[in-house]
Amino acid sequence: MAKRKSLLSALKHVNLPVKIQDETHEVNPMTTHIPGVKVEKTEIGVAEIGGKKTMYIKMKLKGEL
């Protein structure tokens, strides 16, 4: 019987070409419900992953002690 790989170990070897545009657009900071974490900055942009365009969100987080 062949040994089965876990999903996580199979995903470690995936290599997709990713192109991220230099331009992002700043939007109002999103909220988070994680205790002790504050969102300082939120940006949206478009990336090309595996030849398909998709939107992404980039958030700058700060821990509050």
What pLDDT digit, counting tens, does each position of 19-64 carry? 988 899 999 988 888 899 999 999 999 999 888 999 999 999 999 7
Q: Domain span at residue 25?
A: 17-63
Quick check: is 2 in a domain?
A: no
Model-wide pTM > 0.85: no
Count Cβ atoms below 10 Å from residue 39 Cβ, excluding itself.
15
Q: Evaluate whether residue 1 is within a structural domain.
A: no
Does residue 12 belong to any structural domain of this protein? no
Assess if residue 5 is contained within a domain: no
CA angle 41/61/10 to nearest 5° reads 115
**How far apart are alpha carbons 62 and 44 in whole angstroms?**
18
**With 70 as the cut, is the pLDDT of residue 1 above it?**
no
Q: Which residues neighbour 47 within 8 Å (Cβ) at sequence distance 6 or greater?
A: 18, 19, 20, 21, 53, 54, 55, 56
11 belongs to a structural domain: no
Total count of domains within the chain? 1
Q: What pLDDT was estimated at residue 13?
A: 81
**Residue 6 resides in a domain:** no
**4 in a domain, yes or no?**
no
